[in-house]
Chain A
Amino acid sequence: MKIFVPIDAAARAVGSDEVAVELGAALKRRGVDATIVRNGTRGMIWLEPLVEVEKDGVRYGFGPVDEADVDALAGLIAEGKVDGHALSLGPVEELPWMKGQQRLTFARVGVIDPVSVADYEAHGGLAGLRRAIEIGPEAIVNEVMESGLRGRGGAGFPTAIKWKTVAGAPGPQKYIVCNADEGDSGSFADRMLMEGDPLCLIEGMAIAGVATGATQGYCYIRSEYPDAIRAMNDAIADARRYGMLGQSVLGSDYAYDMEVRVGAGAYVCGEETSLLNSLEGKRGIVRAKPPIPALEGFMGRPTVVNNVLSLGAVPWIIENGGAAYGALGIGRSKGTIPIQIAGNVKYGGLFEAAFGMSLGHIVNEIGGGTATGRPVKAVQVGGPLGAYIPVENFDVAFGYEELATKEGLLGHAGISVFDDTADMLKLSRFAMEFCAVESCGKCTPCRIGSIRGVETIDRIAQGEEEMIPVLTDLCNTMKWGSLCALGGFAPFPVMSALTHFPDDFRGRSAPRKEAAE
């Protein structure tokens, strides 16, 4: 009998390790012969720890399971039952959260044993890489082009164009760099993929290597993700043993290998040129473009820099064809997007679906509204640099250009929900302070502007309403004058808060508590 207890950090953070140990012991006491598989999370974080029991090929869920529930659960399992417990959820695949999704990138996450190439292959893994080797570089790039895949880190740049540029660039050594510096609050899809199906990312990177002639890859993971670092390192070791990485990828003439690099707690390193500097062992300072990384990237050589989710989408695209992927979505936002619903929300987690659902549907129907039960005031889409979107704009469709029409940005597709107790001035101050703390210091609008932003908001908080136009002007300078998205986008949360919630900025008198360090 197979029992699944997630090893994802979000499950471990609410006690899944203890549940796994206790459950194993309780089953042993009852003489039940069971294998406990530590899978990734299904993405229904409110149900974690979610225990699944496999019976006749169907997985039945129980959750959230507390240590105190384990003994009763073990008794039930020993009787051969998969239902009839207060925490019974029935077949997991039949739950509305699972049924409503179109899981392409996350198809195996929560399903398989994350670091077993054998399990990966048994669930459809490696089909993309095999086809990639068969069709060759030019056809791979064409498939990705046809898929319409755009940068999932937030910039939305067509992935195939980067690949084509690197493929055509001369140079004895080219690189694939995966940006896994997922620092946006409200985002955890990269972490979930790396912990739940790391081989999918490795496969995507290997395909990028075959497509561009890059033989070395780096996956730059933020240090705040120790579990993802461990999972990726284990999976790379397994992939090497299997011949998925190395001098001859799956027995072909293509060589590709890779290693994990760990960040050191700098948000700005999520910006691709800053990431490259960090990878080279330098300060994570933003580089001016041009030259673009595709021509002069890591060590000045041609480099593909793609987000985890962009690379993670690639195996499916190559296996099933770019046209099949590109048939999904809306406008110029093609394919699926792993939406992360977070913050003050009743049903938080990861929901992968084609682009195009309305924001309101995502927050209220899928997410079930707030966890506190109070009305939603606003949601921040796209991390600390994303706009606060008020309920009035919830009809906006989830897509790159669509969100831009509401002065919002998709970012990494994380949504943080706030109830009506949220103080938008305080959140604006936080945005500026975060920018000040994390600024790399290279350009003045970001380095100095963010500090002036904090000071200006503090004055508004003390009732100096006449400083509001100053703040607006400052935001404008930062937006257009900054070198990268950190200083350039920090005004989005501030201006959106100011525009949609002016009452939070007017008539203030008492100094407010500091929002951030």
Chain B
Amino acid sequence: MMSAVNDAEFNERLQAIIASHADQEGPLLPILHSVQAEWGYVPEEAQPILASALGMTRAEVYGVVSFYHDFRDHPAAPHVLRLCRAEACQSMGADELADQVREALGIDWHETTADGKITLEPVFCLGLCASCPSAQLDQRLVGRASLEKVRRWAEGVRA
């Protein structure tokens, strides 16, 4: 994937991130989190640079990036809706809620709405198991989630 950003600038920003983690032991995960915070995903072009900075092979860095669910290889939509799919939430109708939301948004898991605004993702437990089902609308956690709450949020971010 080609980067949309200027190569020199990209490299400079990446080097700054690497430098900011210089005194940490085993810094790759913190670095990847910072990279994703900076660009919204982990650009493929970052991987060889990280590999040489950390004395790892490119394959090792790729192996780490691809192992963890959190790291994206492409940017998500500006808004991310996460619905918990774990057992406690299932006991309170999470599957039904997920069906309703998927129908209302016209997308399946990991997909983005036609207007490019919202990506839907599953999550396995947000630790809100006594107020199920739970969801996360961007940074905001939602307990006792309902189609109504999700719809209100979706209308808000699409407006």
Contact = CB atoms under 8 A, between A and B. Distances in A.
Tell me, yes or no, whether A binds B.
yes
Interface of A: 9-10, 12-14, 45-46, 48, 182-188, 190-191, 223-227, 259, 261-267, 278-285, 298-299, 340-345, 348-350, 371, 380, 383-384, 414, 416-419, 422, 427, 430, 434, 438, 440, 513, 515-517
A262 B127 contact: no
Give the residue among B24, B26, B71, B87 with the most A Cβ atoms within 10 A: B87
5 contacts: A262-B30, A342-B129, A343-B87, A427-B87, A430-B90
B132 interface: yes
A294 B49 CA distance: 34
Nearest to B110: A517
B101 to A, nearest CB: 14
Given A264-B70, A343-B87, A417-B91, A280 B26 contact: yes
B122 interface: yes
A440 B67 CA distance: 8
Contacts of B95: 513, 515
A185 B129 contact: yes
Contacts of A185: 86-89, 124-125, 129
A283 B143 CA distance: 32
B147 interface: no
B69 A188 contact: no
Contacts of A298: 25-26
A182 B124 CA distance: 11
B91 A418 contact: yes
Contact of A223 (B70, B87, B142): B70
Contact of B126 (A224, A262, A264): A224
Given A10-B131, A190-B127, A343-B87, 5 more contacts: A264-B71, A282-B28, A348-B129, A430-B90, A440-B67
A350 B127 CA distance: 12
Contacts of B125: 183-185, 187, 224
Interface in B52-76: 54, 60, 63-64, 67-71
Interface string B124-146: 11111111101000010111100
Contact count band on B: 35 or more
Contact of A264 (B69, B123, B128, B132): B69
A308 to B, nearest CB: 12
A283 B91 contact: no
A427 B91 CA distance: 10
A128 B70 CA distance: 37
Nearest to A493: B87
B87 A430 contact: yes
Interface in B32-86: 32-33, 54, 60, 63-64, 67-71, 85-86
B109 interface: yes
B87 A265 contact: no
Nearest to A377: B91
B141 to A, nearest CB: 4
A344 B91 contact: yes
Nearest to B24: A259
A299 B24 CA distance: 12
B19 interface: no
B139 to A, nearest CB: 7
A345 B26 contact: no
B102 to A, nearest CB: 11
B29 interface: yes
Interface string B9-30: 0000000000000001111111
A371 B131 CA distance: 10
A418 B132 CA distance: 12
A267 to B, nearest CB: 6
A183 B130 CA distance: 15
B139 A226 contact: yes
B62 to A, nearest CB: 10
A264 B92 CA distance: 27
A283 B63 contact: yes
A282 B64 contact: yes
A383 B142 CA distance: 21
Contacts of A380: 87
Given A262-B33, A417-B91, A45 B68 contact: no
B1 to A, nearest CB: 20
Given A13-B142, A343-B87, A343-B92, A224 B123 contact: yes
Contacts of A13: 126, 128, 131, 134, 141-144
Nearest to B89: A185
Give the residue among A48, A188, A281 with the most B Cβ atoms within 10 A: A281
A431 B59 CA distance: 31
A152 B13 CA distance: 42
A516 B123 CA distance: 11
B92 A517 contact: no
B79 to A, nearest CB: 16
A281 B70 CA distance: 14
Contacts of B124: 183, 185, 267, 384, 434, 438
B34 to A, nearest CB: 10
A280 B60 CA distance: 13
Nearest to A342: B129
A267 B123 CA distance: 11
Given A186-B129, A226-B139, A344 B92 contact: yes
A348 B88 CA distance: 11
B63 A188 contact: no
A187 B128 CA distance: 8
